[in-house]
Amino acid sequence: MLDKLPKHKKIILFDGVCNLCNSSINYVIDKDTKDEFRFLALQSALGKELQEYLGIAPDNLDSIILYSPEEAYYIKSTAALKIISRFSGLWKIVLIFNIVPTKIRDFIYDIVARNRYIWYGKQQQCRIPTPELESKFLS
């Protein structure tokens, strides 16, 4: 199934039932003016297969994963910063956090990840994209 993945797009794997994650994906879609990203729920069959291919436990739903077939893959805070680096405008200020050691950034990331359902809620099923956005989501 991995042959279904686009070769020249960055793929964001996200928790499809997490409200924080879904809101973040909506924001990325709005900022993705160059059509660089495609989106894949971690819970989907293809999402699990890609995680296994990358050597990431497929039941690890606590991390956003950015996979770029032409580069590498990134997880947690590094993935978030790599995604933000593609935005224009004032978002570039956030990239100052690249100087913070990854262990410290990921420690904070893990606190948010562990509490995201409590703080932001959870859906009963993975997000279903609107017809206009369907081409951006992989399944």
Query: Which pLDDT tens digits describe the chain residue by residue (139 residues)?
Result: 677 788 889 999 998 888 888 889 989 998 999 999 999 989 889 999 999 999 988 777 788 999 998 889 999 999 999 999 999 888 889 899 999 999 999 999 999 999 998 898 887 666 666 666 777 888 7
- Tokens matching residue 54: 């990358």
Supply 93's token pair: 């200020």
Q: How many CB atoms neighbour CB 94 within 10 A?
A: 13
Backbone angles phi, psi at 112, to 5 degrees: -65, -45
Q: Which residue has the tokens 């420690």?
A: 107
Q: Which residues pair with 135 in a beta bridge?
A: none
Q: Is 77 in contact with 50 (CB distance < 8 Å)?
A: no
Scan for tokens 């699990």, then name that residue. Answer: 48
Please choose, from the candidates 99, 37, 103, the residue with its C-alpha nearest in 3D space to the C-alpha of residue 69: 37
Coil, strand or helix at 58:
coil
Nearest to residue 77, comparing CAs of 53, 51, 100?
A: 100
Sheet holding 73-75, edge to edge: 37-41, 10-14, 65-67, 73-75
pTM, full prediction: 0.88
